[in-house]
Amino acid sequence: MGTYPIMLHVKNKNVIVVGGGKVAYKKITSLLIAGADITVISPTVISPIKKLVDERQIRWLQKTVKREDLRDAFVIIAATNNEKVNKLIAQSSSSHQLVNVVDNQKTGNFQVPATLRRGKLTIAVATSGASPKLAKMIRNELAEIYDESYESYLDFLYQYREKIKQLKLDDRTKDRMLEEILHEKKKNLS
């Protein structure tokens, strides 16, 4: 199956996470970082999810999911430990909704890659569901190469680029200046 990689803006978007266990919690934490408006639907939740509810970072509907619960969601994460329920969630969604089924990549219409974040830098690794463990292994290897110093490095590059864009120079000169600072600063990181 062919996939098209994108970076999705979910800030203030309605996201439904169905499930209240460890896998759901991992999805919730990533979605919180992205600023999503999250509702968890599950009869029970683990204590870290309950803590997020108590802190009013997310909402919790303490029940089993119904088709109408999914109606207004932009993104739906099916993260229950029941394959039939996860499949039913995918089948209950509309064609305009993004659905991730954690235990069966083919059932939903998008996958969540193993992700490494360093401030504005995001590196994603996916295997089309063939081996999530390999994707995580590669992500961890990349984490050693692209360490925490890249967060400030990218902030610097962003500020420099914004200043260059304001200069009244031709595009070729601007591009050359950006290449030069990229290579110069990269040497200093090594």
Is the model more confident about 31 or about 184? 31
Of 3.40.50.720, 3.20.20.10, 3.50.50.60, 3.20.20.450, the CATH number of 14-111 is: 3.40.50.720
Beta pairing, strands 114-118 & 121-125: antiparallel
Q: How confident is the model at residue 59 (pLDDT cuts 50, 70, 90)?
A: very high
pLDDT over threshold 60, residue 161: yes
Q: What is the pLDDT of residue 148?
A: 94
Task: Please determine, for residue 182, whether its predicted confidence score (pLDDT) is greater than 90.
Answer: no
**pLDDT at residue 128, rounded to an integer:** 83
| Single-letter residue type at 137 | M
Q: What percent of the chain has pLDDT over 90?
A: 81
Q: Residue written as tokens 């803590």?
A: 51
The 10 Å Cβ neighbour count of residue 13 is 17
pLDDT at 186: 62
Mean pLDDT on 46-72: 97
Ramachandran angles phi, psi of 71, nearest 5°: -50, -45
pTM comes to: 0.84
Lowest mean pLDDT among 57-71, 94-108, 139-153: 94-108
Banded pLDDT at 105 (limits 50, 70, 90): confident
Q: Using the predicted structure, report yes or no on whether residue 1 has a pLDDT greater than 60.
A: no
Residue found under tokens 């890659």: 113
pLDDT per position as a tens digit, 9-39:
999 999 999 999 999 999 999 999 999 999 9
Query: Could you identify the residue written with the tokens 């995001």?
Result: 122
Higher pLDDT, 109 or 43: 43
pLDDT tens column, 111-140:
889 999 999 999 999 988 888 899 999 999
Q: Using N-to-C axis directions, what is the helix angle for 171-189 and 149-166, rounded to 10°?
A: 160
Confidence of residue 190 (pLDDT cuts 50, 70, 90): low
